[in-house]
Amino acid sequence: MSNDVVELFDRVADRYDEVLPFFESFGRLCVDRLPMPGTGDRLLDIGAGRGAIAVAAQARGFAVTATDASTGMVRQLQREHAGIDARVMDAGRLDFDEDTFDVVTAGFVMHLLDEPQAAVREVKRVLKPGGLFAFTGPGRVPDGFEFADGSDALFAEFSRYLPPGGSMGEPFEEREALAAAGFTGVDETDLRIELAVPDAETFWQWLQTHGTRKFFDDLSAERRAEFRARLIADLESRGSVVLRRYAWLYRGWA
Ligand SMILES: C[S@@+](CC[C@H](N)C(=O)[O-])C[C@H]1O[C@@H](n2cnc3c(N)ncnc32)[C@H](O)[C@@H]1O
């Protein structure tokens, strides 16, 4: 487990997904693609954050356990959603018996892990035979997809100012990792959201409240100020600010 990653999410936990409902929107899309639960079906959400998937899954009828390595995130979950069993736990070492859950989910987590393959094996172990693992993450941009806010060009330009070795997570071949752990019937779907953003400053604030914050923490103060000024000028010249993003949903059966 990377302490830097967990420390970052601890630091942003109180504002995470509060500025714009980005993760909540993707969480709902993910849960829409889960089977309807039978009576008492158990769902484990790993790297649950403030419950983007866990809350929607509970509303769908699952008995939900949510785990996260960040104490700050788990505290928020416990405070806001008392009906969810929330615990601090590393995705790579799940403290559950084998064959415990009907579904395991992970929203925007797997690409942040140092050893995603180990987490996939753990998920397989705690799933009942025939259970479903569904997880989302960023991936290649589908043809014709545009970010609609121009920030992708700025991120590409400013990434050259980052210190070496500063990224989060390890390269991860989703299909290969799922197959190696014994999952079958693997499929992938792209999910898209589009959110109206009140103004450019809100967009900047949103960038500070989740994993992207690390990018700005790793820039010098001058570069960060330059990025902010150029982003805001560009967004204001567009008339309206729209956050249009995509994610990949992978599903595999144990
Ligand atoms: C981008 S957030 C996603 C949170 C939530 N699933 C959502 O969709 O909003 C990534 C989450 O993974 C958690 N995380 C990072 N490394 C982890 C690890 N090794 N084990 C468990 N959780 C981890 C972070 O604390 C953070 O809450």
CATH code of residue 137: 3.40.50.150
Nearest Cα to 91, choosing from 129, 50, 120, 57?
A: 120
Distance set, CA 42 to CA 27, 63, 95, 131 (Å): 17, 5, 15, 10
β-sheet bridge partners, residue 5: none
pLDDT above 70 (res 167) = no
- Tell me how far the alpha carbon of residue 90 lies from the centroid of ligand 1, in angstroms: 9
pLDDT above 70 (res 123) = yes
Residue 162 lies in a domain: no
Compute the average pLDDT of residues 88-109. Answer: 98
Distance set, CA 30 to CA 52, 183, 191, 230 (Å): 10, 19, 8, 34
Nearest Cα to 137, choosing from 246, 3, 49, 29?
A: 246
Compute the average pLDDT of residues 240-254. Answer: 93
Residue 106 lies in a domain: yes
Confidence of residue 85 (pLDDT cuts 50, 70, 90): very high
Compute the average pLDDT of residues 64-80. Answer: 97
Confidence of residue 34 (pLDDT cuts 50, 70, 90): very high
What tokens were used for 181?
């752990």
Q: Is 12's C-beta closer than 6 angstroms to any atom of ligand 1?
A: no
Degrees (nearest 5) of the Cα angle 145, 243, 174?
A: 55
> Could you tell me which residue, 89 or 244, shows the higher pLDDT?
89
Range of the domain at 101: 3-145+171-194+245-253
Q: Could you tell me what percent of the chain has a pLDDT over 90? A: 81
**Nearest atom (ligand 1) to Cα of 23:** 9
pLDDT above 70 (res 121) = yes
pLDDT above 90 (res 108) = yes
Residue 103 lies in a domain: yes
* 185-188 contacts at long range (C-beta below 8 A, 24 or more positions apart): 185/251, 185/252, 185/253, 186/250, 186/251, 186/252, 187/250, 187/251, 187/252, 188/248, 188/249, 188/250, 188/251
Q: Which residue has the tokens 């690390």?
A: 214
Nearest Cα to 161, choosing from 107, 102, 227, 246?
A: 227
Residue 223 lies in a domain: no
| pLDDT-wise least confident of 21-25, 236-240, 246-250 | 236-240
Q: Is 52's C-beta closer than 6 angstroms to any atom of ligand 1?
A: yes
> Could you tell me which residue, 167 or 79, shows the higher pLDDT?
79
Give the span between the Cα atoms of 247 and 130, in whole angstroms.
25
Residue 216 lies in a domain: no
Compute the average pLDDT of residues 191-198. Answer: 93
Q: Report the domain count for the chain.
A: 1
Compute the average pLDDT of residues 97-103. Answer: 98
Nearest Cα to 250, choosing from 187, 181, 197?
A: 187
Q: Could you tell me what percent of the chain has a pLDDT over 70? A: 98
Confidence of residue 166 (pLDDT cuts 50, 70, 90): low
Q: Is 86's C-beta closer than 6 angstroms to any atom of ligand 1?
A: no
Residue 135 lies in a domain: yes
Compute the average pLDDT of residues 104-122. Answer: 96
Predicted confidence at residue 213, as pLDDT, reads 93
Which of 68, 74, 115 gets mutated to test ligand 1 (max ligand atoms within 8 A of its CB)? Answer: 68
- Tell me how far the alpha carbon of residue 156 lies from the centroid of ligand 1, in angstroms: 24
Compute the average pLDDT of residues 14-41. Answer: 96
Which of 3-7, 26-30, 145-149, 194-198 holds the top average pLDDT? 26-30
Compute the average pLDDT of residues 111-115. Answer: 92
Residue 96 lies in a domain: yes
Q: Is 69's C-beta closer than 6 angstroms to any atom of ligand 1?
A: yes
- Tell me how far the alpha carbon of residue 15 lies from the centroid of ligand 1, in angstroms: 14
> Could you tell me which residue, 163 or 67, shows the higher pLDDT?
67
Compute the average pLDDT of residues 182-200. Answer: 95
Residue 14 lies in a domain: yes
